[in-house]
Structure 1
Amino acid sequence: MRLAHVWLAALIAIGASPALAQTSGLPPLPKIGIEGEDNRIRVDSKVWPWIAIGRINREVGGHCTGTLIAADKVLTAAHCLYNQNDGRWTVPFEVHFVAGYDRGSFAAHARGRSFTHDPQYDPTNAASLQQMTHDWAIITLDQKLKLKPVPLAPGAAQAIIGGQGKAGVSAAGYNGDWSEILMTHQGCRLLGTLAERPLLIHDCDTTFGASGGPLLRIEDDKAEIVGVLSGVLTLKDKSEKGAAVPVWTFRSLLPK
């Protein structure tokens, strides 16, 4: 892993890792990204917005998490669509999005038709902070799903970070240790952004398999995506904090 040195809240980050990366679930998984008490809880995948979140299964093995943001568009992390073993991008049809997945049941599903990702993203250097800032992708599905999508939050850094309110934010994903059910940490916090990189730093509990999942702001019956879960930063004090790609960095690049 390439080391990265950045400043965050007067602490030096000494390592960055796509620690929420795709997982096959074969070996026991270390709970990178979970500090202290595990605050993740199960949610009802039949209820919005959770029903719009699903597992991204790959025929070559492994899974990630994605969120329906339009009838045929799924937001996820770019590193989920790259095969590190053979050094190639996954063929879109090899990707299967299963919305509202829960232990074999699901609300809807479709295969990928095409991918869109940041042209600056280099998957061969995914663990670097520079690449984590570009770690987002859109899967265009081969059919439209009849589910209510989750919108992207409007505004830039100040509006998004300052708008979390007392409720905080929620991180959702199909973590490797709970790969058959959707788990969330609700009421966690956005801590700010890196001084040198546009990454949202949060204290939500997430681990392998949650990559590509949404960082959500939920208020009453409204929900919106503020970021895409990408990885974990290890700070100088050995604490681990989550990193997410903020929506304002890629909103204008999304396919219409």
Structure 2
Amino acid sequence: MVAHAEDAWFRRFHAAPEARARLVCLPHAGGSASFYFPVSRALAPDVEVLAVQYPGRQDRRHEPFLTTIDAMADAVAGLLADKTDRPLALFGHSMGAMVAYEVARRLESAGGSVDTLFVSGRRAPSRQRDESVHTRTDEGVLDELRRLSGTEMDLLGDEDVVRMILPVVRNDYRAVETYLHVPGTPLAAPVVAFTGTDDPVASVAEVRSWADHTSAGFELVTLQGGHFFLTRHQDVILRYLADRLVDKGRVHV
């Protein structure tokens, strides 16, 4: 049963049986595991990359959505609880950063450890805004996607593709916008936060507040670009991941 659940939730794009570390990557709203294929390709075989596949998309499209950040975090943390054979790190972009943070909290609360929490394109949990994209019309949700440039513009012109992705995107925005951070013990894991200089949904100051959520080290990496700055600066981010997860210079990206 557990093995089946793990196969559903985690994608291993490249074999890494002798990996020195494990990196779990959590996608953004509307995103899927395949977004992290380049990360797996670059870091294998030194790092085992597990890309999370949320229910309701791609090969899991017939499964019901999980409608809250907490439900997503519960599922992922439950599957990671016994993976103690190598150092574990988490990487999440946008909504994925929120899920990764809550996964880290759950693992540490249960006595486990997280080597590093990498967050990208998301303000700190304590820095909340009043947002309601999930209540908009379909065209209103599409306007937000265009604003963030998170989906290729030519795909938005394909009616069948739009019909397919809108329920996923709306569900994920609902999860993000109804999330309420419950203050608690700061993480024992260090946090590395990546942000774009022109991200409309996460200012540099809001991202810097991730420092308040860890009792270990904090590093802020600011890169040029908007919400999906990481696609432009993939090489930079991969170097940070490699340097943190294995001996410096061991992984070549």
- For Structure 1 versus Structure 2, the TM-score category normalised by the shorter chain is under 0.3
Q: Give TM-score scaled by structure 2 length.
A: 0.25
Q: Give TM-score scaled by structure 1 length.
A: 0.25
Greater Rg, structure 1 or structure 2? 2
Report 1 or 2 for greater relative contact order, CA contacts < 8 Å, sequence distance ≥ 6. 1
